[in-house]
Structure 1
């Protein structure tokens, strides 16, 4: 069976492997905006919720979690693909977010953070008022 060379397939595989970091493998994440808040969903199966630590400092959100190994020290590994230990993920938050109102929920092995947009950063409509002007001592009001 002859295999044809496809440089794009090989480059995709190379870059997919190069962009995988220990944090992205152990803590895969989705990030999206829904209305006036950002939602971060991080897969953390097998993590005790008490081991999850979330901090915000200088617009940097840090998530730490620990997944213990279930095997004893005398285990002879045949295959070891599940990561264990302490993991951390950092997200640089832009300005305009209400970091004092971040919500966190851990359910079914998924940590979900909601980060609201600050009121000052939300788009707002500015009303244009029709002014009045004075003509020879009389006040003229605009007609609508």
Structure 2
């Protein structure tokens, strides 16, 4: 169904609504993310449907992971757009990384519109079992000597 309005009030309302909607896309909501903590790594999954994988860029700088991607308008000469609900342009999302993550060994893959970024946990940050000493403690041995 094609709807057309010539009411200037409605046109101005639509223009302002579209402007506000574009601003809300700048908050990162356009690139929804799930984050999972596993024993050996952290996995981040970003929804990027319809994005050319060649336009995706993942960078790390001073503990900040940045993901940017671009979705471009695909309209042929004989086509006229009458509804636009899919955001277009370049989108960026930044995630602050913990010092317990190994930012030198990050890897990423893109499948079926989902970008998956895997960040290994540093050895020193992994849970470990502390051995309990039995018998005389070191303090007791030091006092006897």
Q: Same fold (TM over 0.5)?
A: yes
User: What RMSD, in angstroms, separates the aligned Cα atoms of the two structures?
Assistant: 2.7
Contact 1:104 1:112 (C-alpha < 8 Å) held by counterparts = yes
TM-score by length of 2: 0.69
Choose the corresponding residue for 2:82, options 78, 82, 87.
78
Once the two structures are superposed, residues 80-127 of structure 1 have per-residue CA deviations (whole angstroms, 9 ceiling, x without a partner) of 111111111100111100111112110001000111111111122222
Structure 1 distance, partners of 2:39, 2:27, is 28
Partner of 1:136: none
Higher helix share: 2
Structure 1 distance, partners of 2:80, 2:33, is 31
Contact 1:63 1:90 (C-alpha < 8 Å) held by counterparts = yes
Aligned ranges for residues 5-44 of structure 1 at < 5 Å? Answer: 21-44=25-48
Once the two structures are superposed, residues 45-67 of structure 1 have per-residue CA deviations (whole angstroms, 9 ceiling, x without a partner) of 11111111111111100011111
Q: How many residues align?
A: 118
TM-score by length of 1: 0.69
Gaps of 5+ in 2: 1-20
Gaps of 5+ in 1: 1-16, 134-144
Structure 2 distance, partners of 1:80, 1:96, is 42
Higher strand share: 1
Aligned ranges for residues 44-55 of structure 1 at < 5 Å? Answer: 44-55=48-59
